[in-house]
Structure 1
Amino acid sequence: MTTDSPPMPAPIAAWHALAEARDPAALDALLAEECVFRSPAVHTPQPGKALTTAYLTAALVVLGPTLRYVEEWYAADSAVLEFEAEVDGLSVHGVDMIRWDDTGRITSFTVMVRPHKGLEALMGAMLVELTRS
Protein backbone atom coordinates (compact mmCIF):
# COMPACT_ATOMS: atom_id res chain seq x y z
CA MET A 1 0.00 0.00 0.00
CA THR A 2 1.36 3.42 -0.90
CA THR A 3 0.38 6.85 0.29
CA ASP A 4 0.41 10.04 -1.68
CA SER A 5 3.33 12.33 -0.99
CA PRO A 6 2.47 15.86 0.09
CA PRO A 7 2.97 18.45 -2.64
CA MET A 8 6.43 19.98 -2.83
CA PRO A 9 6.38 23.47 -1.28
CA ALA A 10 7.11 26.28 -3.74
CA PRO A 11 10.38 27.38 -2.04
CA ILE A 12 11.70 23.82 -2.28
CA ALA A 13 10.67 23.50 -5.93
CA ALA A 14 12.50 26.79 -6.58
CA TRP A 15 15.58 25.53 -4.70
CA HIS A 16 15.60 22.29 -6.73
CA ALA A 17 15.35 24.21 -10.01
CA LEU A 18 18.17 26.52 -8.93
CA ALA A 19 20.39 23.61 -7.77
CA GLU A 20 19.75 21.61 -10.93
CA ALA A 21 20.57 24.58 -13.14
CA ARG A 22 23.42 25.62 -10.81
CA ASP A 23 22.27 29.19 -11.33
CA PRO A 24 23.04 31.33 -8.27
CA ALA A 25 21.37 34.35 -9.92
CA ALA A 26 18.04 32.86 -8.82
CA LEU A 27 19.10 33.16 -5.15
CA ASP A 28 18.25 36.87 -5.11
CA ALA A 29 14.54 36.18 -5.52
CA LEU A 30 14.56 33.10 -3.27
CA LEU A 31 16.37 34.39 -0.16
CA ALA A 32 14.89 36.76 2.41
CA GLU A 33 17.08 39.74 3.39
CA GLU A 34 17.33 38.39 6.95
CA CYS A 35 18.24 34.86 5.85
CA VAL A 36 20.71 33.01 8.09
CA PHE A 37 23.10 30.32 6.88
CA ARG A 38 24.40 27.69 9.27
CA SER A 39 27.38 25.67 8.14
CA PRO A 40 28.90 22.50 9.56
CA ALA A 41 32.29 24.20 9.21
CA VAL A 42 31.56 27.55 10.87
CA HIS A 43 30.69 27.77 14.57
CA THR A 44 28.44 30.83 14.39
CA PRO A 45 25.38 31.46 12.21
CA GLN A 46 26.15 33.57 9.13
CA PRO A 47 23.47 36.30 9.02
CA GLY A 48 22.15 38.07 5.96
CA LYS A 49 21.31 37.48 2.36
CA ALA A 50 24.82 38.36 1.12
CA LEU A 51 26.60 35.75 3.26
CA THR A 52 23.96 33.10 2.57
CA THR A 53 24.29 33.81 -1.15
CA ALA A 54 28.09 33.47 -0.96
CA TYR A 55 27.92 30.11 0.81
CA LEU A 56 25.19 28.67 -1.39
CA THR A 57 26.90 29.89 -4.56
CA ALA A 58 30.13 28.18 -3.50
CA ALA A 59 28.21 25.01 -2.60
CA LEU A 60 26.63 24.95 -6.07
CA VAL A 61 30.11 24.93 -7.58
CA VAL A 62 31.60 22.40 -5.14
CA LEU A 63 28.67 19.99 -4.76
CA GLY A 64 26.56 20.84 -7.79
CA PRO A 65 28.07 18.43 -10.31
CA THR A 66 27.34 15.38 -8.13
CA LEU A 67 24.59 16.67 -5.80
CA ARG A 68 21.65 14.29 -5.58
CA TYR A 69 18.69 14.65 -3.23
CA VAL A 70 17.53 11.25 -2.01
CA GLU A 71 14.76 11.98 0.54
CA GLU A 72 12.67 14.96 1.58
CA TRP A 73 10.35 15.82 4.45
CA TYR A 74 8.04 18.86 4.44
CA ALA A 75 6.17 20.88 7.04
CA ALA A 76 4.11 24.05 6.65
CA ASP A 77 7.10 26.40 6.60
CA SER A 78 10.13 24.11 6.55
CA ALA A 79 11.72 21.10 4.94
CA VAL A 80 14.58 18.67 5.40
CA LEU A 81 16.32 17.51 2.24
CA GLU A 82 18.71 14.56 2.49
CA PHE A 83 21.50 14.63 -0.09
CA GLU A 84 24.51 12.74 -1.37
CA ALA A 85 27.47 14.10 -3.33
CA GLU A 86 31.13 13.50 -3.96
CA VAL A 87 34.02 15.85 -3.20
CA ASP A 88 37.57 14.97 -4.20
CA GLY A 89 36.62 11.31 -4.50
CA LEU A 90 35.01 11.17 -1.06
CA SER A 91 31.34 10.55 -0.39
CA VAL A 92 29.42 13.31 1.34
CA HIS A 93 26.07 12.60 2.96
CA GLY A 94 24.04 15.34 4.56
CA VAL A 95 20.87 17.25 5.08
CA ASP A 96 19.72 20.74 4.22
CA MET A 97 17.23 22.11 6.75
CA ILE A 98 15.35 24.97 5.13
CA ARG A 99 12.78 27.39 6.58
CA TRP A 100 10.81 30.06 4.73
CA ASP A 101 8.47 32.92 5.50
CA ASP A 102 4.87 33.47 4.39
CA THR A 103 6.10 35.06 1.15
CA GLY A 104 7.98 31.88 0.21
CA ARG A 105 11.44 33.38 0.74
CA ILE A 106 14.02 31.26 2.55
CA THR A 107 14.85 32.63 6.00
CA SER A 108 17.13 29.86 7.27
CA PHE A 109 19.39 27.37 5.51
CA THR A 110 21.24 24.89 7.75
CA VAL A 111 23.58 22.23 6.40
CA MET A 112 24.79 19.13 8.24
CA VAL A 113 27.34 16.78 6.66
CA ARG A 114 28.91 13.41 7.40
CA PRO A 115 31.22 11.49 7.46
CA HIS A 116 34.09 13.46 8.95
CA LYS A 117 36.45 12.82 6.00
CA GLY A 118 33.75 14.00 3.60
CA LEU A 119 33.21 17.11 5.72
CA GLU A 120 36.95 17.83 5.70
CA ALA A 121 37.06 17.53 1.90
CA LEU A 122 33.99 19.76 1.61
CA MET A 123 35.49 22.37 3.95
CA GLY A 124 38.69 22.54 1.90
CA ALA A 125 36.85 22.83 -1.41
CA MET A 126 34.45 25.45 -0.02
CA LEU A 127 37.36 27.52 1.33
CA VAL A 128 38.97 27.55 -2.11
CA GLU A 129 35.70 28.55 -3.76
CA LEU A 130 34.83 31.22 -1.18
CA THR A 131 38.24 32.89 -1.50
CA ARG A 132 38.24 33.12 -5.31
CA SER A 133 38.34 36.72 -6.52
Structure 2
Amino acid sequence: MTQPSGLRPAAASSLTIWHEIVASQSIAALRSITHEQAIFRSPVAHTAYEGADALLLAIGTVMRGFFGDFTYHRTAVTADGLNVVLEFAATVEGKQVKGIDFIRFDEQGLIREFEVMIRPLSGLQALAAEMGRRVGQDIAAFKAKA
Protein backbone atom coordinates (compact mmCIF):
# COMPACT_ATOMS: atom_id res chain seq x y z
CA MET A 1 0.00 0.00 0.00
CA THR A 2 1.28 3.47 -0.85
CA GLN A 3 2.12 5.64 2.14
CA PRO A 4 0.03 8.77 2.53
CA SER A 5 1.98 12.02 2.36
CA GLY A 6 2.42 14.07 5.49
CA LEU A 7 3.16 11.30 7.99
CA ARG A 8 6.33 11.71 10.01
CA PRO A 9 8.97 9.12 9.08
CA ALA A 10 8.68 7.03 12.27
CA ALA A 11 4.87 6.96 12.00
CA ALA A 12 5.08 6.09 8.29
CA SER A 13 7.40 3.18 9.11
CA SER A 14 4.98 1.87 11.75
CA LEU A 15 2.04 2.30 9.39
CA THR A 16 3.88 0.16 6.83
CA ILE A 17 4.30 -2.53 9.49
CA TRP A 18 0.60 -2.16 10.40
CA HIS A 19 -0.41 -2.83 6.79
CA GLU A 20 1.87 -5.89 6.74
CA ILE A 21 0.20 -7.12 9.94
CA VAL A 22 -3.25 -6.72 8.39
CA ALA A 23 -2.19 -8.41 5.13
CA SER A 24 -0.63 -11.38 6.94
CA GLN A 25 -3.32 -11.55 9.65
CA SER A 26 -0.53 -12.10 12.16
CA ILE A 27 0.03 -9.76 15.08
CA ALA A 28 3.60 -10.96 15.66
CA ALA A 29 5.04 -7.52 14.88
CA LEU A 30 2.30 -5.48 16.57
CA ARG A 31 4.00 -5.24 19.95
CA SER A 32 7.09 -3.73 18.30
CA ILE A 33 5.05 -0.71 17.12
CA THR A 34 2.82 -0.35 20.19
CA HIS A 35 3.63 1.77 23.24
CA GLU A 36 3.27 -0.15 26.52
CA GLN A 37 0.73 2.41 27.75
CA ALA A 38 -1.32 2.48 24.55
CA ILE A 39 -5.05 3.07 24.76
CA PHE A 40 -7.54 0.97 22.77
CA ARG A 41 -11.03 2.36 22.19
CA SER A 42 -13.51 -0.25 21.09
CA PRO A 43 -16.62 0.60 19.07
CA VAL A 44 -18.68 -1.41 21.57
CA ALA A 45 -17.34 -0.18 24.93
CA HIS A 46 -17.85 3.16 26.62
CA THR A 47 -14.60 2.96 28.60
CA ALA A 48 -11.20 2.65 26.91
CA TYR A 49 -8.84 -0.26 27.50
CA GLU A 50 -5.34 0.50 28.75
CA GLY A 51 -2.03 -1.07 27.79
CA ALA A 52 -0.37 -2.81 24.89
CA ASP A 53 -1.70 -6.18 26.07
CA ALA A 54 -5.30 -4.97 25.71
CA LEU A 55 -4.67 -3.66 22.22
CA LEU A 56 -2.94 -6.91 21.18
CA LEU A 57 -5.78 -9.00 22.64
CA ALA A 58 -8.48 -7.01 20.82
CA ILE A 59 -6.69 -6.75 17.46
CA GLY A 60 -5.47 -10.34 17.61
CA THR A 61 -8.98 -11.61 18.28
CA VAL A 62 -10.43 -9.68 15.37
CA MET A 63 -7.72 -11.00 13.05
CA ARG A 64 -8.38 -14.60 14.05
CA GLY A 65 -11.11 -15.23 11.65
CA PHE A 66 -14.37 -13.41 12.00
CA PHE A 67 -13.72 -10.36 9.82
CA GLY A 68 -14.08 -11.30 6.18
CA ASP A 69 -13.18 -9.38 3.02
CA PHE A 70 -11.33 -6.73 5.05
CA THR A 71 -10.07 -3.90 2.83
CA TYR A 72 -8.81 -0.40 3.53
CA HIS A 73 -10.19 2.17 1.07
CA ARG A 74 -9.05 5.64 2.11
CA THR A 75 -6.39 7.18 4.30
CA ALA A 76 -6.17 10.63 5.83
CA VAL A 77 -3.35 12.18 7.85
CA THR A 78 -3.57 15.02 10.35
CA ALA A 79 -1.47 18.14 9.92
CA ASP A 80 0.91 17.14 12.73
CA GLY A 81 1.85 13.94 10.86
CA LEU A 82 1.20 11.74 13.91
CA ASN A 83 -2.40 10.65 13.32
CA VAL A 84 -3.87 8.54 10.57
CA VAL A 85 -7.46 7.67 9.72
CA LEU A 86 -7.99 4.45 7.77
CA GLU A 87 -11.42 3.76 6.27
CA PHE A 88 -12.28 0.08 5.80
CA ALA A 89 -15.00 -2.26 4.63
CA ALA A 90 -15.49 -5.84 5.81
CA THR A 91 -18.05 -8.45 6.72
CA VAL A 92 -18.75 -9.54 10.29
CA GLU A 93 -20.82 -12.68 10.75
CA GLY A 94 -22.31 -12.17 7.29
CA LYS A 95 -23.08 -8.48 7.78
CA GLN A 96 -21.35 -5.84 5.68
CA VAL A 97 -19.75 -3.08 7.70
CA LYS A 98 -17.88 0.15 7.08
CA GLY A 99 -15.50 1.47 9.64
CA ILE A 100 -12.63 3.72 10.53
CA ASP A 101 -9.43 3.01 12.42
CA PHE A 102 -8.00 6.12 14.09
CA ILE A 103 -4.35 5.57 14.98
CA ARG A 104 -2.31 8.10 16.97
CA PHE A 105 1.47 7.62 16.95
CA ASP A 106 4.06 9.24 19.17
CA GLU A 107 7.28 10.86 17.95
CA GLN A 108 9.01 7.46 17.94
CA GLY A 109 6.30 5.98 15.73
CA LEU A 110 4.71 3.87 18.46
CA ILE A 111 0.93 3.50 18.58
CA ARG A 112 -0.34 5.51 21.56
CA GLU A 113 -4.04 5.29 20.79
CA PHE A 114 -6.08 3.04 18.52
CA GLU A 115 -9.80 3.73 18.13
CA VAL A 116 -12.29 1.83 15.97
CA MET A 117 -15.69 3.03 14.78
CA ILE A 118 -18.10 0.78 12.84
CA ARG A 119 -21.50 1.10 11.18
CA PRO A 120 -24.27 0.04 10.64
CA LEU A 121 -25.69 -0.93 14.01
CA SER A 122 -26.45 -4.52 12.93
CA GLY A 123 -22.78 -5.05 12.01
CA LEU A 124 -21.65 -3.44 15.26
CA GLN A 125 -23.99 -5.71 17.21
CA ALA A 126 -22.59 -8.77 15.43
CA LEU A 127 -19.06 -7.62 16.28
CA ALA A 128 -19.99 -6.99 19.92
CA ALA A 129 -21.57 -10.43 20.30
CA GLU A 130 -18.60 -12.22 18.75
CA MET A 131 -16.00 -10.26 20.73
CA GLY A 132 -17.96 -10.84 23.92
CA ARG A 133 -18.05 -14.55 23.23
CA ARG A 134 -14.33 -14.73 22.44
CA VAL A 135 -12.69 -12.33 24.93
CA GLY A 136 -15.36 -10.62 27.01
CA GLN A 137 -14.01 -11.70 30.40
CA ASP A 138 -10.34 -11.39 29.46
CA ILE A 139 -10.48 -7.86 28.03
CA ALA A 140 -12.57 -6.50 30.91
CA ALA A 141 -9.45 -6.61 33.11
CA PHE A 142 -7.90 -3.85 30.96
CA LYS A 143 -10.69 -1.27 31.41
CA ALA A 144 -9.32 2.20 32.09
CA LYS A 145 -9.84 3.50 35.59
CA ALA A 146 -12.15 6.50 35.78
TM-score, L = length of structure 1: 0.88
**Residue correspondences, number:** 128
- Percent identity, please: 30
- Find out whether 1:39 has 2:38 as its counterpart: no
Find the aligned partners of 1:46 and 1:29 in 2 and give their Cα distance: 19
Q: How many Å apart are 1:30 and its aligned residue?
A: 1.3
The two structures have a TM-score, normalised by structure 2, of 0.81
Which one is further off, 106-115 or 51-60?
51-60
Q: CA deviation at 1:118?
A: 0.5
Query: Match for 1:113 among 112, 118, 123?
Result: 118
Q: 1:23-72, CA deviations, whole angstroms, 9 ceiling, x for partnerless residues?
A: 11111101100100001111101011111111111121232x42110111
Q: Which runs of 5+ in 1 are unaligned?
A: none
For residues 125 and 136 of structure 2, what CA distance do their matches in structure 1 show? 17
SS at match of 2:126: helix
Match of 2:108 in 1: 103
Aligned to 1:6: 5
1:22 offset after TM fit, Å? Answer: 0.7
Paired with 2:105 and 2:76, the residues of 1 have a C-alpha distance of: 14
Query: What are structure 2's unaligned runs of at least 5 residues?
Result: 139-146
1:21 aligns with 2:20: no
Stretches (4+) displaced over 3 A = none
Of 122, 126, 129, which aligns to 2:127?
122
